[in-house]
């Protein structure tokens, strides 16, 4: 029901947004809201800007891309500042083809798709509204109707600059349908839609021998030549190439550099002069953003070819490198998994993070800085604070290699390996070890990795594995400590009782038997040794604690677990040291006794309830940490 209602709402919205009127009516709209007549580049830029910009530490973050593109804010900022913004201002870069260059699966297509979907949505908003000559296959700009000799005058009145000439088809329609009366020409509001082929196009090269230039610029409709008498009658022409359809919006040119040159020449005059040649007509004006993408190798071979010089100067290359922060990389995987049919699979905590660490390691280049290894660099790039290094060091490291992020493992590879790890397992639950193993196996089958890189990558698998070992151990300890919170208190109370008796030269009473006994020296020392208190210093330490307790008592405050920093540390360490044995024994025993079983269940419950594991992954984690501690 809900979906049907939504469909109806959508239909009603279409009706509400629809507008048509005469050219004279349209001029009223232009007078009030001149932005409806903005250029394609300007509309794209405003779309990005209108979504909002945040500035953090002098770096811009464009909301338009947030939640979709991760870890490449710098590349995006550059793209906006160096291409979209100046081209919106009609500066010269507008006349160049935008070429996104980056490694495989680095998000180039995703970026372009975002722009396309964004434009579709934007054209339905007030700010992004756009109008065209009614029933024109190229959704021609109505202002093209204004004769060239009046355009300066028009600019003075409306503040809108007009570029481009009325197309041959509309020139003819103006005469035939409207008797030359420009003011009567019908105008309509249009809505960008790739599916309906309005304002958004995609050109992707196929076999160069069979591909027809008509795919780009349209073609003669031979069936109508008889009706209209000649091939140069624009009515006998189908303006249905991608360049025609993308007019006013954008066209994605896939695999541009793989394309036959003759296709590229069409783009030359389009970008440079704003028009292109189709059939036997005068030049056709078009206003559209052309975005292409390529990888580095392809681009290098393209520019090394002298024949491409003219084209080269009409292209603006914007790098789209891989992300270099593992937290952001993790978010990329989360997004890709959400969008895939693996979404139901349980992925144990830290699994994607560890995979991301491996990936980032493969993308980093060695730093010349003293004391920096790959792991440290990875952490610093992720914004972690590491003693001895600061912001400036990070900036310097980034500046060391301008091409960092152009090579390494790509996100799609990782996702593929995750899905094959899932297939291999019987339960729909995977952990970091499954994924690392799968990543490793995949490296052997990966055809495009050189032997040298393979060796480096294998090594990074081990590095990531060590990171995981530490994470796993801490996680289990934490889970044990939680169920041992009570024990921490008990241990401390016990220690304090003994210290009191020791300092006052008293005896203690056994709570069970009521027997008198001496302070438990062994227990006290086992705690004190954790923070390096020597035999000679123990007396002073114990007295200091007693003084602290009485100072608290005098102020009416309760002395507890957190009242003495060093004592707390000692208790915690003692607990962890004890835990090591508890964990070790509890997790490795094949036949746990009742007590151990109870502990295991408690810890597993904590892992599930508080840390996001399920019972499979919690049990796997316990077993793994048990094996680590037994090494
Ligand atoms: N920085 C990133 N932020 C968000 N998602 C990303 C990023 N990099 C890659 N991806 C994801 O990786 C997958 C592959 O990206 P995409 O297809 O856009 O790459 P591409 O650069 O076009 O690759 P190719 O060169 O193979 O065409 C997509 O699911 C995309 O969402
Ligand atoms: Mg792509």
Return d(Cα 625, Cα 468) in angstroms, integer: 11
- pLDDT of 58: 83
Mean residue pLDDT of the chain comes to 90
Give the rounded percent of residues in the chain with a pLDDT score beyond 70: 99
Q: What is the pLDDT of residues 492-534, one digit of tens each?
A: 888 999 999 999 999 988 877 888 889 999 999 999 999 999 9
Ligand at minimal distance from the CA of 202 is 2
The DSSP call for residue 193 is B
- pLDDT of 330: 97
**Which of ligand 1's atoms lies nearest the C-alpha of 72?**
1
CB atoms within 10 A of CB 112: 20
**Which of ligand 1's atoms lies nearest the C-alpha of 320?**
21
Range with lowest mean pLDDT among 221-225, 365-369, 551-555: 221-225
Return d(Cα 80, Cα 517) in angstroms, integer: 78
Q: What is the largest CA-CA distance in the chain?
A: 121
Cα(80) to centroid(ligand 2), Å: 20
Instruction: Give the mean pLDDT of 264-274.
Output: 76
pLDDT band at 260 (very low <50, low <70, confident <90, very high): confident
- pLDDT of 592: 78
Check whether 561 has a pLDDT greater than 90: no
- pLDDT of 560: 80
**Atom 7 of ligand 1 has which residue's CA nearest to it?**
107
- pLDDT of 262: 75
**Atom 14 of ligand 1 has which residue's CA nearest to it?**
105
Cα(414) to centroid(ligand 2), Å: 16
Ligand at minimal distance from the CA of 340 is 1
Nearest to 144, CA basis, from 169, 122, 112, 179? 169
Pocket of ligand 1 (CB under 6 A): 69-72, 102, 104-110, 295, 323, 332, 336, 411-412
pLDDT band at 329 (very low <50, low <70, confident <90, very high): very high
Q: What angle do CA 617, 619, 625 make, to 5 degrees?
A: 100
Q: Which residue has the higher pLDDT, 490 or 529?
A: 529
**Which of ligand 1's atoms lies nearest the C-alpha of 110?**
18
Q: Which residue has the higher pLDDT, 572 or 61?
A: 61
Nearest to 221, CA basis, from 209, 208, 201, 235? 235
Q: What is the pLDDT of residues 350-379, one digit of tens each?
A: 999 999 999 999 999 999 998 999 999 999
Cα(25) to centroid(ligand 1), Å: 44
pLDDT band at 386 (very low <50, low <70, confident <90, very high): confident
Q: Is 233 helix (H, G, I), strand (E, B) or coil?
A: coil
Check whether 448 has a pLDDT greater than 90: no
Cα torsion 590, 591, 596, 598: sign: positive
pTM of the model: 0.83
Cα torsion 530, 533, 534, 540: sign: negative
Q: Which residue has the higher pLDDT, 624 or 583?
A: 624
CA 347, distance to chain mean position in Å, is: 19
Q: What is the pLDDT of residues 176-193, one digit of tens each?
A: 999 999 999 999 999 999
- pLDDT of 483: 54
- pLDDT of 199: 96
Check whether 147 has a pLDDT greater than 90: yes
Cα(322) to centroid(ligand 1), Å: 9
**Atom 3 of ligand 1 has which residue's CA nearest to it?**
69
Return d(Cα 377, Cα 387) in angstroms, integer: 12
Q: What is the pLDDT of residues 417-438, one digit of tens each?
A: 999 999 888 888 999 999 999 9
């Amino acid at each position: 029901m809900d979906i049907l209602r939504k469909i109806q709402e959508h239909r009603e919205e279409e009706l509400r947004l629809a507008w048509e009127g005469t050219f004279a009516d349209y001029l009223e709209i232009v007078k009030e809201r001149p932005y409806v007549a903005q250029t394609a580049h300007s509309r794209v830029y405003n779309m990005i800007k209108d979504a909002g910009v945040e500035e953090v530490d002098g770096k811009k973050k464009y909301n338009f891309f947030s939640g979709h593109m991760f870890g490449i804010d710098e590349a995006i900022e550059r793209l906006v500042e160096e291409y979209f913004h100046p081209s919106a201002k009609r500066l010269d870069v507008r006349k160049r083809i935008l070429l996104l260059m980056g490694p495989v699966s680095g998000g180039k297509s995703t970026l372009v798709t975002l722009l396309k979907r964004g434009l579709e949505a934007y054209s339905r908003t007030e700010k992004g509204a756009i109008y065209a000559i009614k029933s024109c296959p190229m959704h021609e700009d109505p202002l093209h109707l204004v004769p060239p000799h009046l355009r300066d005058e028009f600019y003075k009145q409306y503040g809108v600059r007009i570029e481009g000439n009325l197309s041959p088809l509309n020139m003819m329609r103006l005469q035939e349908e409207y008797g030359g009366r420009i003011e009567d020409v019908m105008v309509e509001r249009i809505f960008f839609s790739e599916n309906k082929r309005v304002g958004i196009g995609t050109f992707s090269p196929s076999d160069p021998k069979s591909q027809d230039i008509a795919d780009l610029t349209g073609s003669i409709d031979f069936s109508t030549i008889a009706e209209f008498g000649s091939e140069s009658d624009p009515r006998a022409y189908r303006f249905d190439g991608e360049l025609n359809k993308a007019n006013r919006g954008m066209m994605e040119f896939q695999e541009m550099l793989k394309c036959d040159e003759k296709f590229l020449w069409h783009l030359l005059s389009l970008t440079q002069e704003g028009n292109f040649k189709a059939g036997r007509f005068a030049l056709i004006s078009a206003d559209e953003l052309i975005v292409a993408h390529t990888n580095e190798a392809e681009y290098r071979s393209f520019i090394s070819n002298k024949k491409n010089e003219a084209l080269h100067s009409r292209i603006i290359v914007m790098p789209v490198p891989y992300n270099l922060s593992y937290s952001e990389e993790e978010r990329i995987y989360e997004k890709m998994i959400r969008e895939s049919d693996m979404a139901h699979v349980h992925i144990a905590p830290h699994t994607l993070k560890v995979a991301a660490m491996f990936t980032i390691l493969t993308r980093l280049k060695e730093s010349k800085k003293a004391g920096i290894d790959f792991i440290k660099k990875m952490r610093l790039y992720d914004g972690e604070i590491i003693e001895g290094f600061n912001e400036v060091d990070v900036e310097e490291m980034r500046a060391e290699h301008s091409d960092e992020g152009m090579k390494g493992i790509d996100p799609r590879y990782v996702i593929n390996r995750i899905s094959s790890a899932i297939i291999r397992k019987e339960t729909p639950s995977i952990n970091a070890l499954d994924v690392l193993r799968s990543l490793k196996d995949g490296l052997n089958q990966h055809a495009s990795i050189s032997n040298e890189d393979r060796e480096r990558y294998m090594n990074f698998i081990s590095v990531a594995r060590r990171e995981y070992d530490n994470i796993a151990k801490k996680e289990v300890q934490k889970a044990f400590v939680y169920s041992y919170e009570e024990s921490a208190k008990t241990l401390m109370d016990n220690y304090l009782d003994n210290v009191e008796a020791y300092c006052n030269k008293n005896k203690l009473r056994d709570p069970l038997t009521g027997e008198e006994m001496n302070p438990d020296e062994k227990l006290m020392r086992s705690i004190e040794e954790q923070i390096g208190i020597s035999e000679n210093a123990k007396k002073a330490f114990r007295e200091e604690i007693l003084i602290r307790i009485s100072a608290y008592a005098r102020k009416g405050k309760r002395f507890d677990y957190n009242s003495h920093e060093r004592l707390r540390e000692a208790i915690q360490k003692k607990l962890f040291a004890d835990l090591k044995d508890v964990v070790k024994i509890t997790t490795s025993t094949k036949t746990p006794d009742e007590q151990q079983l109870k502990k295991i269940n408690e810890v597993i419950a904590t892992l599930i309830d508080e840390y996001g594991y399920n019972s499979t992954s919690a049990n796997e984690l316990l077993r793994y940490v048990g094996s680590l501690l037994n090494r």
